Amino acid sequence: MIQASVLMVLGAQRSEVIALIIRESLRLIPVGLVCGFGAAALTTRYLQDLLVGLTPLDLTTFGAVAAVLTVVTIVASYLPVRRVSFVDPLVALRYE
């Protein structure tokens, strides 16, 4: 979060810093989803007997997981940067 403090010292607005950090987090979602879905597709083939009522590549389940993970990513990036945005940037930089 030192990046947020540096940007605020240089004159960036609080909303700009929050938007930047969330945008950077959102860029990682597709990479994580592709890797996760690939691993899940391979794993469900082996666990097919344990999946009661589901097919190995159930699109509803995969879509629900993608939606939940996207919301978790947004919340996990928003809460810390919001907290940092209320701290005086010079105090934060001196502490680091």
* pLDDT tens string 44-69: 878 777 777 777 787 888 899 999 99
Strand, helix or coil at 10?
coil
Q: What is the per-residue pLDDT across 10-42, written as a single tens digit (0 to 9) for each? A: 777 878 888 888 888 889 899 999 999 889 888
pLDDT of residue 5: 66
DSSP letter at 87 equals S
